[in-house]
Structure 1
Amino acid sequence: MSGRLQGRTALVTGSTGGIGVAVARALAAEGAFVVVSGRDAGRGEEVVRSIAGAGGQAAFVAADLSKGAHAVEALAASALAAAGGRLDILVNNAAMLLTPTPTAEVPEDTIDAALATSVKSMFLLTGLLAPRMAARGGGAVVNLGSINGLVGMAHSALYSMTKAAVHSLTKSWSAEYGPYGVRVNTLAPGPTLTEKVKGYKEHLEPILARAPSRRASAPEEIAAAAVFLASDDAANVHGATLTVDGGFSAV
């Protein structure tokens, strides 16, 4: 690795599994001190140990972002304390993974939980941390969207709604914080072979058949794109949506 993030601090929400783990490890490999966050302390500490074993630095802060403002405020305070009072990078990765379901069959409590975890918590956390970055003159926010927020897919209306909201927030926050040196961008993965997603193989096949690459991404490929957006390599990239989907959304 090139040490592109040496001396910087980062918070990655939802980083005890899936894409979040890969992003946390990739940021640490580039020199960042990473605050790993999620609900499962055992898995979180395991991620921290794996980062330390590879020569990186990290700490774990437990958080259940479906629990509202108090949980988000506690995460922000604890993450800042763990990172020495400064966060240079925020990766808003936490989201509720949803099984494809016809719209008419989605329960109201599932709608509420998805919005709380995938949209509301991101809104609140960015509102707490981005102004601090702006006051220091710079920072980077990477929001995890999805190709579901860009194209329509049957039986994915709720998930698509949450991700379309993420894409919209990126544009609004770019206008709000960009003039103060805070870059906000969206990373939009296509099908990615996390352990959970592997269980939905039958849903992936028709999507992958339409993608020019004809394959899903590895979590590490998504993480590499996140490092780019967080680093000075993307110094003049504001309000962008970077797709890592094998070309699916292009064709």
Structure 2
Amino acid sequence: MTPQLTDKYMVTIAERLTSAYARIAVAAKNAQRNSNEITLLAVSKTKPSADIIAAYKHGQRQFGESYVQEAVDKIAQLHAYSDIIWHFIGPIQSNKSALVAANFAWVQSVDRIKIAKRLNSQRPADKAALNVLIQVNISNEEAKSGCQLNEVAELASFINQCEQLTLRGLMAIPAKSDDITTQTQYFKQLQTCFDKLQTQYPQVDTLSMGMSNDVEAAISAGSTMVRIGTDIFGTRT
């Protein structure tokens, strides 16, 4: 059954989405970029389907999820909203890769050949190739997923040879910092890697970096996709 929404509930999500897009527009203008070059991915992990519907009714179509079973349940519940583009942005466990391969249009968190190989073999033949971003552990945090910068070339080459995968670019979640200089330093490193990747693979067009706390630094460094959750859907429980 489709969740029911109150007008008040929808306005809240709508206002937050409007603010998020306005923030992107200002950051793009300050960076002398066109805001149309930057996609907003609404991160809806842990949030109910009703939140997603509210954002959808305000024009949002791209949503990011991090927990496989939760996401698959929501995708099934919202199957009538066939133009939603679902992105998986969380760590991928081998025993959950088949569900990711079958249910998402994008996977932003591929960080090793083993997972790329599984996604390629498990992608249903009747679906378009899975759009893939390589996740880079740009700030070298031990507890964080992502390959190292010097591993990107080998992983990109492997993905590019997979018939059921399409290499689209890079993603990173740098160490949290309120210092814009530190934020920019990490993002510039990823941008340099991205620029090199584009010279080798013409289909590469997506640099996913920047979240609620560092959107401005990410956009100034060339991000083409920012992932915003809390500023749209509120604090997670």
- TM-score category, normalised to shorter length: 0.3 to 0.5
Q: TM-score, normalised by structure 1?
A: 0.38
**Higher helix proportion:** 1
Q: TM-score, normalised by structure 2?
A: 0.40
